[in-house]
Amino acid sequence: MPRAEHGISRDDISENALKVLYRLNKAGYQAFLVGGCVRDLMLGMKPKDFDVVTDATPEQIKAQFNNCRLIGRRFRLAHIVFGREVIEVATFRGHHPDEDEDASAHNSRQNEHGHLTRDNVFGSIEEDAERRDFTFNAMYYSVVDFSVIDFANGRSAIKKREVELIGDPEQRYREDPVRMLRAIRFAAKLDMTISERTATPIREMAGLLTNIPPARLFEETLKLFISGNGVETFKQLHSHGLIEPLFPQLASFLRDDSCREMQFIYRVLQNTDDRINNEQRVTPAFLYAALLWYPLEEYAQKMMSESGLNAHDAYNIAMSEVVRKQTQRIMIPKRFSTVMRDIWILQQRLPRRFGRRAFQILAHPKFRAGYDFLLLRGEIEGGELLELADWWTQFQDAHPAQQKKMLNALRSQEGGGTRKPRRRRQPRKENNA
């Protein structure tokens, strides 16, 4: 596509990305912007980052830039660092060997599930394009003549607003099951639909995600839910049968859109989306605490009824077990699982407000997260839970005299009047006989 047909302007491209392209071209290498940044520019969106691809090897790239560091073991990448901006530069990727070839002669490998496990094969721009996952990600922008090379008819996918896989969907999902999650993410982010041929195998092949390392799935789920499109993403994950392999303890609770569990998750995700879109901070701990809240509650209730444990012990056991089971699928770093536990524990402490307890809870480092969680629960479940949330809404902003009045009113309501002062115990006299 010549310049007049695609509408991409250098004014919309990062200055640092242009520097990388110009220097590689000047050194005699091919270099292109590729993937999401080209797609977003053609959609009239502002790219989050700019990726470059080239025929230069990682070592040749490093030789051109003093501010370059090489990363990765599966596939070496160059990161060109300009202050807070990093331009990622990759060498054109080649194909992994066919099954009938001698795999020992190549650097690419597949495991028993067909997943790509090693990827150190360099190739041509044509091979690189074939290895891209979606058609709209196989477009390459050149600063030599300002053209866009569209290898897989990505412009058509953009025009139809469809997420379309390159190649045979079943084979591509077997190579890397995370592509199913990426299809969902792009559809939600770009307000597109997933083409029928791309969507059809997803439900049947969803189980392949259980073979993906939990640490990688943590990173992928962050992209799914902490992107400002969490509600639509969750709806699509549910409709394509992808909740079960990601959150097996949650799946059985999601009967339909009207059930309280689904409404609670939608409310939490909408709250997360709003904060992200208003450039406010969010923590994955809050989201994971919400996704696992009803499985936790059910497990604790079961422990109390079957084992006769008190609520404190039942919830402690349930918290450990629910987190343990979840981390078998999606790794949750301790810095987040600790906050999740704080939020859950506060759900047990917030109803106990008498005397100094209310002030102790208010001073808890995670009070705000626990209160926000309670408020969202109250909005969905109503009744006493909503009354409790409203009480804390008033109490935390009240002046000391008003807080004391609220606690006295609560004691009168719950205890039937003011509590009599406890008699001071007299010290026992020693027997000198």
The residues, any chain, with a CB within 8 Å of residue 119's CB and separated by 6 or more, are 74, 75, 93, 96, 107, 108
Q: Can you point out the beta strands (E) in 104-195?
A: 108-110, 116-119, 139-141, 148-150, 162-163, 193-194
Among 40, 55, 128, 133, the one annotated catalytic: 133
What is the distance between the terminal CA atoms of the chain, rounded to a whole angstrom?
A: 110
pLDDT by residue (tens digit) across 111-152?
A: 555 555 455 688 999 999 999 999 999 999 999 999 999 999
What is the reported pLDDT for 422?
54
* Mean pLDDT confidence for 52-74: 93
Which pLDDT score, from 0 to 100, does residue 423 have? 57
- Alpha-carbon span 150 to 136, nearest angstrom: 8
Question: Domains of the chain by range and CATH?
Answer: 1-160 (3.30.460.10)
Work out the pLDDT band at 267, boundaries 50, 70, 90: very high
pLDDT higher than 70, residue 433: no
Band (pLDDT 50/70/90 cuts) for residue 256 is confident
Distance between CA atoms of 7 and 88, rounded to whole angstroms? 24
The partner residues of 31 in beta bridges, in order of sequence, read 54
∠ CA 206-263-202, nearest 5°, is 15
Are 264 and 380 in contact by the 8 Å Cβ rule? The answer is: yes
Q: Is the pLDDT of residue 162 over 50?
A: yes
* pTM (2 d.p.): 0.85
Q: Which of 49, 119, 176, 313 is catalytic?
A: 49
Q: What angle do CA 104, 106, 109 make, to 5 degrees?
A: 80
CA distances (Å), origin 299, targets 256, 292, 314, 336: 21, 11, 8, 21
- pLDDT on residue 103: 38
pLDDT digits (tens, 9 = 90+) for 367-419: 999 999 999 999 999 999 999 999 999 999 999 999 999 999 988 887 654 44
pLDDT score at 25 = 97
pLDDT of 119: 54
Q: What are the phi and psi torsion angles at 391 (to 5°)? A: -60, -45
Is 133 an active-site residue?
Answer: yes
Provide the pairing of β-strand 85-91 with 51-54. parallel
Catalytic residue among 51, 55, 128, 273: 51
Mean pLDDT across the chain: 90
- Note if 11 is an active site residue: no
CA angle 374, 380, 383 (to 5 degrees): 80
Task: Examine the residue annotation and report whether 145 is marked as an active-site residue of this protein.
Answer: no
3 state DSSP class of 53 = strand
Tokens for 343, please give them.
């939020």
Q: Residue 416 and residue 426: Cα distance in Å, rounded?
A: 29
Q: What is the C-alpha to C-alpha distance for residues 298 and 291, in angstroms, rounded to an integer?
A: 13
Pick from 183-192, 340-349, 423-432: least confident: 423-432
